[in-house]
Structure 1
C-alpha cells in the first residue's frame, strides 16, 4: 500500500469510530453490553460464515475464469483478488479503487494484463447483471415499505437502480457493439482535448481503443463458453445470496426469530444499492443511517438496533478490509501466462 492509501485507511477507521460513537450517544452502555452478552453466538457465527463465503465464492469465480486459459492458478491466489478488492473499495470514493487493485493482484500472480483486464470486466458484467436482477425482485417486494417509511430513500433507491442499469448497458455495448463504443469514447474525449496537446490525446485514444479491442475479443470468447458462464452466474447468485442474508442472521443472533427472511433480505438488497450512491468511501454515514431507518421497525429495542447495525457494519465493511490487509502480506504464486492464444 502507498502512503496515501495507508492514510485513507486510517481516516476511514477513524470515521467509523466517530459514526459508532455518534450512534451510541443516546444508548445506555450497560444495556448495549447486556445485549452483547446474550447474543446467540451460533447464529452470529453463521453471519460471519456468510461474509467469508461471499469472499470465497468470488475467489472461486476468479479461479474459474483464469483456469479456463491458464493452468496452475491456485485458489489461494484467486481468493486474494476479492480480499484486496474489498480493501481498496473500502478506502476509495464510489469503490473506484477495487478494479485497479484486482488487476495488480492478478498481474502479480503472473496473469497477462490484457487477459486480467478482460476477466475482471467479464466478472464485473456478471456481478452487475445479478445485482440488477436481484434489485428488481427486491423492488417488487420491499419498495412499498421504503416509500411508507422514507420517501427520500425511495428516490435514492430508484436512482441507484438507474446507475447500475446504465453500467450494464455500457458494458454490453463494449461487448457486442465495439465500433459504436469507440465512436462514443471519441466524442467523450473531445472536451478532454481542450485541456491537453493533440499528441497526448491521440496516445490516450490509442490506449483506450486497444483496451476495448482486447476486452471485446476476450469477452466474445468467454461469452461463447456457455457451460462456464452458466457456472459463473450460478456461483454469483449464491455469492450475493450469502451477503444479502447477513442482516437476517444478525437479527436471529439478537433474538428476533420471527422476522420475515424474504423482506429482510430484500431490504438489505435495497440498502446496498443506496450505499453505492454515497461518495464517501464505504458509504460511511449513509450505510448506517439507511440500516437504522429500514430495520427500526423489525428491531424494537434501540440498543439492539444499534448493536445490529454495528455488527452488520463490522462484518460487511471492516472484515472485508481486514481480509484485504492480510491478503497484501501473502505473496502470490507466479503462473506462466502465454498470450499466444489470445
Structure 2
C-alpha cells in the first residue's frame, strides 16, 4: 500500500514544479499542521476510550494501554484489506490477546460498530444538507457515489436496528434471503452457514437487550463517538489553514470531508487508494487554487489520515498487551435471565 500510495503521489505531481512544491512545503504553518496531526491522534485516543468504556462495563482490569492497541491495530488492518474488512477480526484477536473472552470481545466490537454506524449516518445527513448542493453542481458524478455510499451505511444500520427491535421477524427474513444459496453450495455447508448466522443474530439480540437498559452508557459512547468523528472531519480544514487559506468556510470543508469519507468506503482497493486522492483533489480544487498546494494538501491529508494510522498499527502489533485479571459476573447473570425470558 505504501508503494501504491507513492505511485499515486508521483502521478499527482506530474504537472507540478518540484521547486514550487518545495517552496510551499517550507512555508507551511507548522502549528496548524500539528493541530491537524493532533486531531488524528485525538480521534484514535477517543476511540480507545470508547473501547475501554465498553469493556470495563463487562470486566475490570482492562487498561488504557490495552485499549489504545485496539483502534491502532484496526487502522492497520482496515488500511491493507479491501473495504476495510480486516479491521474487525484484527480487533477481536487483539482483545483476545489481552485476556478478554472472545464472546465478550465480539459483543463489545459489535456494539461499538452499531454506535459508530449510527453516528456516521447522523453526520452524513448534516453534511448532505450543507454540502450536497455544492457537490452536485461541481461534480455530479461523485454525487451518485455519495448517495450510493450513504444507502449502504443506512441499510447496515437499519439491519442492525431490525435485529434489536424485530428479532424473530429479522431471523425469518434472513433465512428466506439465504435460501437461494442452496443452489450454489452443498446442503451441509448451507446448513452450517444458516446455523452460524442464526447464532450471531441471537448473540447480537441478547447484547442489544442488555445495552438498551443502559441508556446512560449508550449516550456517553454516542457523545464520545460524535466528538471522535468531529475531530477527524476537521483535519482538512487545519491543513488548509497551514497552507495559508485562512478564509475557508469550516462548515463546508468539514461537510465535504464527510462526503469524501463516504465515497472512499465504496472503493474495493485497500484504503480506497486512488479514489480517495481523486475525490480530495476534485472537491477541494475550488478552495485551493494553487495546483502545487492542492497536491501538497492531498498528500498531507493522506499521510495523516491513512499512513499515520497504518504505521501506528504496526507499532501496536509489536506492543505486548497487559492481561485482564478479573472475571465478569454481572454479564453472565444478565444473559441467563435473558435466555430464561426467551
TM-score normalised by the chain length of structure 2: 0.94
Give the C-alpha shift of residue 201 in structure 1.
Answer: 2.5
Counterpart of 1:280 in structure 2 is 269
Counterpart of 1:69 in structure 2 is 58
Q: Deviations over 1:92-145 (max 9, x none)?
A: 111111111111111111112222112111111111111111111111111111
Give the C-alpha shift of residue 337 in structure 1.
Answer: 3.9
Give the C-alpha shift of residue 302 in structure 1.
Answer: 0.6
Spell out the pairing of 1:158-173 with structure 2 (5 A cutoff). Answer: 158-173=147-162
Are 1:86 and 2:75 counterparts? yes
Counterpart of 2:332 in structure 1 is 340
Give the C-alpha shift of residue 280 in structure 1.
Answer: 0.8
Whether the aligned pair in 2 keeps the contact of 1:65 and 1:119 (CA below 8 Å) is yes
Give the C-alpha shift of residue 165 in structure 1.
Answer: 0.6
Counterpart of 2:177 in structure 1 is 188
Give the C-alpha shift of residue 182 in structure 1.
Answer: 1.7
Cα distance in 2, alignment partners of residues 333 and 210 from structure 1: 30
Give the C-alpha shift of residue 203 in structure 1.
Answer: 2.6
Are 1:216 and 2:208 counterparts? no
Whether the aligned pair in 2 keeps the contact of 1:110 and 1:337 (CA below 8 Å) is no
Are 1:33 and 2:22 counterparts? yes
Are 1:231 and 2:220 counterparts? yes
Give the C-alpha shift of residue 37 in structure 1.
Answer: 0.6
Selected match of 2:44 from 55, 58, 77 = 55
Cα distance in 1, alignment partners of residues 57 and 19 from structure 2: 55
Q: Deviations over 1:238-277 (max 9, x none)?
A: 1000000000000011111111111100110111101111
Selected match of 1:46 from 29, 35, 43 = 35
Spell out the pairing of 1:321-332 with structure 2 (5 A cutoff). Answer: 321-332=310-321
Range 136-145 or range 304-313, more displaced: 136-145
Range 167-176 or range 312-321, more displaced: 167-176
Counterpart of 2:252 in structure 1 is 263
Q: Deviations over 1:184-231 (max 9, x none)?
A: 232233233233332333233222222221111112111210111111
Counterpart of 1:107 in structure 2 is 96
Cα distance in 1, alignment partners of residues 33 and 188 from structure 2: 58
Instruction: Tell me the SS of whatever aligns to 2:217.
Output: helix
Cα distance in 1, alignment partners of residues 30 and 142 from structure 2: 33
Whether the aligned pair in 2 keeps the contact of 1:118 and 1:219 (CA below 8 Å) is no
Selected match of 2:122 from 133, 137, 143 = 133
Cα distance in 2, alignment partners of residues 271 and 93 from structure 1: 17
CA RMSD in angstroms comes to 1.3
Q: Deviations over 1:149-185 (max 9, x none)?
A: 1110111111111111111101111222221222223
TM-score normalised by the chain length of structure 1: 0.94
Instruction: Tell me the SS of whatever aligns to 1:71.
Output: coil
Selected match of 2:113 from 124, 127, 150 = 124
Counterpart of 1:146 in structure 2 is 135
Q: Deviations over 1:291-339 (max 9, x none)?
A: 1111011111110000000000000111111111111011222214446
